[in-house]
Structure 1
Amino acid sequence: MATTTFPKKTNASTTATAGKDYLIYLNTGSAEATPTWTLLGGQRSGDLSRTAEEIDASTKTSGGWKSVIPGLKSWSIDLESVYLAGDTGAKFLEAAFLAGEEVHVKFEYPDKSYVTGWGSITECSLGTPHDDVATLTGTIAGDGPLGELTTV
């Protein structure tokens, strides 16, 4: 069978990306310096949220307009996965929640670049509807900053 080569866009910044290509990994190893990244299986969504608190910097001379500057920053990941029996990532996430342990997480972009950080699992729920697949939902709330974007 012949191999076909296709042209690529020269301006990739105008190309949309599919949400299915963003993945969450957990470090199931024993050290931060030499992580063993394990995919959280069955992912349906993994929403990375970065926020900053609002500090009111309004004054009497601001013409009646509010002025805001950014305060403390935080990040979190809200996730939903189909619960796969025997999935190492899901079992690790549940075990960390039950033990009250933080997790070392990697959020990977479609081009394989990624950010990492440490976070606490503040929600870990198992949904078991009678007419659909079982799902694992949860929230990982960041402890400190996310690392710099690492490109591969």
Structure 2
Amino acid sequence: MSEVTFATPTNASTNATAGKDYLIYLNTGATEANPTWTLLGGQRSGDLSRQADEIDASHKTSGGWKTTLPGLRSWSIDLESVYLAGDAGAKFLEAAFLAGKRVHIKFEYPDKSYITGWGAVTECSLKTPHDDVATISGTIKGDGALSDVQQPSA
């Protein structure tokens, strides 16, 4: 099939993105400097959450209104994937949980830009209902900051 070009809207506020186009990868290589990014197969969801603790800065002269400052920040990813037999990403996630090892993750946006970070697999569950597909779900809690958004190398 030949290459086809499609027009795109000029109003960027109408360019919603589909959740199916956000992907999670795990570094299954030996180093952070030269990662081997392995897709976690069968993804259904990969929810990235970023939070900050609340520091109460209220005082008697604030007019009766509470004042809050952001404190320590954290991030986590809650994920669920169809459990695909032989999927290298799922096997690696399970192995990291069982070994108590941190994982190096890549969270990829639809335009292929991405962020990376290190985290601990704090939950890793296998669901096997009798009337549905088996799924693996888990939580990765961040260890330090996520990277700035990076562009894929050409």
Unaligned runs of 5+ in 2: none
Unaligned runs of 5+ in 1: none
The whole-number CA distance in structure 2 between the counterparts of 1:149 and 1:42 is 24
3-state secondary structure, aligned to 2:70: strand
Instruction: Measure how far apart 1:3 and its partner are.
Output: 6.0
Deviations 1:95-128 (A, max 9, x none): 0000000000000000000000000000000000
Q: 1:89 to 1:2 in 2, by over 3 A?
A: closer
2:136 aligned residue? 136
TM-score (norm 2): 0.95
Q: 1:37 to 1:2 in 2, by over 3 A?
A: closer
* 1:57 aligned partner, one-letter code: A
Query: After TM superposition, where is structure 1 displaced by more than 4 Å over at least 4 residues in a row?
Result: 1-4
Instruction: Measure how far apart 1:9 and its partner are.
Output: 1.7
TM-score (norm 1): 0.96
1:102 aligned residue? 102
Q: 1:81 to 1:69 in 2, by over 3 A?
A: same
Instruction: Measure how far apart 1:11 and its partner are.
Output: 3.1
| RMSD (CA atoms) | 1.3
2:64 aligned residue? 64
Instruction: Measure how far apart 1:13 and its partner are.
Output: 4.0
* 1:109 aligned partner, one-letter code: Y
Residue identity over aligned pairs, in percent, reads 77
